[in-house]
Amino acid sequence: MENSMGGKVVLITGGTSGIGKATASALASMGAEVVVTGRNPERGERAVEEIRRDSGCNVSLMLADLTVQSEVRRLAEEFQERHDRLDVLVNNAGVVQSTRTETPDGIETTLATNHLAPFLLTNLLLDLLKKSAPARIITVSSEAQRWGKVDPSDLQSERKYRGMPVYGMTKLANVMFTLDLAERLKGTGVTATCMHPGAVNTSFGANNKGLGTLLFRAFKPFMRSPEQGADTVIYLASSPDVEGMTGKYLSDRKTIVASGQAYDEDLRKRLWEASEELTGLRVAA
């Protein structure tokens, strides 16, 4: 296992805590050069020190608030200035919110963070990923995708906002994005997969109120550790067994079937176009 990722460059969003941090530690231990993103400089540096201590390896921090599109663009630009390759991109950062808020761009925060940030960042880094092929894109989704419904006419949940269904909708959007991406990347040597980490005991959603959060806290002692939650991400990022695997949704290293909406090609096309519009991104089809 040691050095199986030697020479590879990995970017992990939200890599300063929870699943992202556990993934960073594991991949750095395998010899990868790991870059993690975080919002808070103090917490970020502390996390990077801990990862270095655990893995004794090459880990660095890039600061970006992924709710803000100009910061996502800056992150992509700075990453490409510092690195001439990207072998693995892990879209891990996410939020769940009990009340509706908007980002500085005027976009509903859960959608902006969980779907539009990975959509924009991945598209901005595609050329570098293709240049580095074989390369892998892994997006952390969730079985909460089964509670979500994607409605392209109300992606920002302006008509009705309920925390968990909106979170579920963004996690379903992650799966739909992955399936579309896999189609678009055929023949490039770049693969796209997504996964469900299981119920993981992290600080995720700790700032929320409501019944769901109380239940979440009650079940915390029975939840997986961040290391257990990160297992499938690490597998998808590093294992030779999944070389060439693309357009799949996994849980516990096994391919599973997502919610029915994920396989509606017309709906996926509408989501992609709406996402391009909301991010100001125009991608040549």
List all residues 6 or more positions away from 162 whose beta carbon is below 8 Å from its beta carbon.
none
Element (H or E) spanning 246, and its range? none
pLDDT score, position 143: 94
Domains of the chain: 9-279 (3.40.50.720)
CA dihedral 109, 204, 177, 105 (to 10 degrees): 20
pLDDT score, position 285: 46
Rounded average pLDDT over 247-262: 97
Task: Report which DSSP code applies to 152.
Answer: G
167 catalytically annotated: yes
Rounded average pLDDT over 227-244: 95
Rounded average pLDDT over 201-223: 53
Position 282 confidence tier, pLDDT thresholds 50, 70, 90: confident
Q: How far apart are CA 31 and CA 167, in angstroms?
A: 34
pLDDT score, position 237: 98
pLDDT score, position 206: 47
pLDDT score, position 221: 54
pLDDT in tens, 7-35: 999 999 999 999 999 999 999 999 999 99
pLDDT in tens, 152-201: 999 999 999 999 999 999 999 999 999 999 999 999 999 999 999 987 55
pLDDT in tens, 31-61: 999 999 999 999 999 999 999 998 877 999 9
% residues pLDDT > 90 (the chain): 84
Residue 205 amino acid letter:
G
Active-site entry in 161, 167, 235, 263 = 167
CA dihedral 204, 80, 139, 147 (to 10 degrees): 60
pLDDT score, position 218: 55
- Under 8 Å between Cβ of 11 and 89: yes
Through-space distance between the first and last CA atoms of the chain, rounded to whole angstroms? 38
The mean pLDDT value of the chain amounts to 91
Specify the length of the chain in residues: 285
- Under 8 Å between Cβ of 134 and 242: no
Count CA atoms within 13 Å of residue 29 on its CB side: 13
pLDDT in tens, 82-131: 999 999 999 999 999 999 999 999 999 999 999 999 999 999 999 999 99
Number of other CB atoms surrounding residue 8 within 10 Å: 21
| Residue 81, token pair as written in the block | 């200035």
Q: Three-class SS of residue 134?
A: coil
- DSSP one-letter string for 92-120: ------SS--B-TTS-BHHHIIIIIHHHH
pLDDT in tens, 60-93: 999 999 999 999 999 999 999 999 999 999 999 9
- Closest listed residue to residue 202, CA positions, set 254, 251, 140: 140
pTM of the full structure: 0.92
Q: Which alpha helices (H) appear in the chain, and where do they start and end?
A: 18-29, 41-55, 69-82, 109-111, 117-131, 163-184, 211-219, 226-238, 265-279
pLDDT score, position 41: 96
List all residues 6 or more positions away from 256 whose beta carbon is below 8 Å from its beta carbon.
196, 249, 250
- Closest listed residue to residue 193, CA positions, set 146, 261, 251, 131: 251
b/e per residue 48-62 (b: at least 16 CB within 10 A): beebbebbebebebb
More confident: 242 or 208? 242
